Amino acid sequence: MEDVAAMAGVSAMTVSRVLNTPEKVRPQTRARVMAAVQALDYRPNSAARVLATGRSGVLGVVSFDTTLYGPASTVFSIEQAAREHGYNVSIVSLSSLNRRSIGEGVERLRAQSADGIMVVAPHQSAADGLKELPSDTPLVAVGAGGDVPFPAVAVDHRAGAERAVRHLLSLGHETVVHLAGPADWVDASGRVDGWRAALEAAGRDVPRMPAGDWSARSGYEHGRQIAADPEVTAVFAANDAMALGLLRALREAGRDVPGEVSVVGFDDVPEAAYFPPPLTTVRQNFGEVGRRAFALLLDRIEGASRPAPEPAGARRVVEPELVVRESTGVRRRT
């Protein structure tokens, strides 16, 4: 550390601050110290760091093993926010989210001396497991539904769905069919609530609601039935993958999009702008989710050193954005 300090022209105390609490050091000084760290190939002794500071500099993330765009993007955004502030991230991926698996995942991270833990829990079934986690470790829930006994961050899926449906109604469509996601997902239930609320607020009929499994295949299979109903002129799919399958089914049935049927998705995956036609969808700000989750966890870690740490049960909501493209249009009157 003395060598790093000499090369950077700072004190050893400043080097320590850069490595342990980088947010408290000016960016120019931080950059100079980190350049010296890289040049000298300096690696802090993690065991000594824990003894000296009481912190490991490691944040834990409990999630489940999935390649779905939303959960994967959430974990990536958390990693990015943590590393921008000098923390390493240890991830425990679970095959399922339930009371036992979540508890075991948290214990594995506690055994690694994680300073704090974020639990990405988009399943309804995870609620009980969240309520039974230990209270002596700083914890934050991400994407969880219901009441949890510690701070949480979530996208407002209901608000996003309401925006999607209101957009379709503003184009003259009498009602909107919803191709829902799996019922045990918090994201899916929030989008169902928003779809139904927007239709009821406008005094429109609430049609039957097919439910898929987030995959393009399920969107295609349900889409074939939707395409066969000439009364359907607008569909809100619970994610972009199912919207992609729906678009194929409509195209095969000879139904023009958006001439005959308008389609809105949810997520704004990178490919959405290149769907045939480019997809109108609801964009989730995963970067903001990661930043807010990290800020909440840092509040919990620092505790009394901050003037007003977030109370247990506090919830920060990230608003989604409607992105209008070419898959929606004014309803044609026949």
Counted residue by residue, the chain has a size of 334
Q: Which of 46, 65, 149 shows the shortest CA–CA distance to 105?
A: 65
CA distances to 61, 123, 144, 150, 322 from 102, rounded to whole Å, are 11, 12, 13, 15, 33
Per-residue pLDDT of the chain (334 residues; tens, 9 = 90+): 888 889 989 898 888 888 777 777 888 898 998 899 889 888 765 545 554 555 668 898 988 877 888 888 888 998 888 888 878 888 888 887 777 888 888 898 888 888 889 988 888 777 767 877 877 888 898 988 767 778 889 999 999 999 999 999 999 999 999 999 999 899 999 999 999 999 999 999 999 999 999 999 999 999 999 999 999 999 999 999 999 999 999 999 999 999 999 999 999 999 999 999 999 999 999 989 988 998 898 888 877 344 344 554 567 899 999 999 999 999 887 6
Maximum Cα interatomic distance, the chain, rounded to a whole number of Å: 80
End-to-end, the C-alpha distance of the chain in Å comes to 77
Q: Which residues contact 274 (CB under 8 A, 6 or more apart)?
A: none
**DSSP codes, 266-277:** SB--TTGGGSSS
pLDDT of residue 136: 80
pLDDT of residue 44: 65
pLDDT of residue 280: 98
pLDDT of residue 306: 43
Let me know: does 118 contact 129? Beta carbons within 8 Å. no
Q: Which residues contact 72 (CB under 8 A, 6 or more apart)?
A: 66
pLDDT in tens, 18-48: 877 777 788 889 899 889 988 988 876 554 5
Q: Which of 186, 304, 299 shows the shortest CA–CA distance to 238?
A: 186
**DSSP codes, 256-267:** -TTTT-EEE-SB
Q: Is the dihedral of CA 57, 151, 128, 181 positive or negative?
A: negative
SS3 state at 168:
helix
pLDDT in tens, 274-313: 999 999 999 999 989 988 998 898 888 877 344 344 554 5
CA distances to 69, 90, 221 from 252, rounded to whole Å, are 26, 46, 12
Q: What is the pTM of this model?
A: 0.79
pLDDT of residue 313: 52
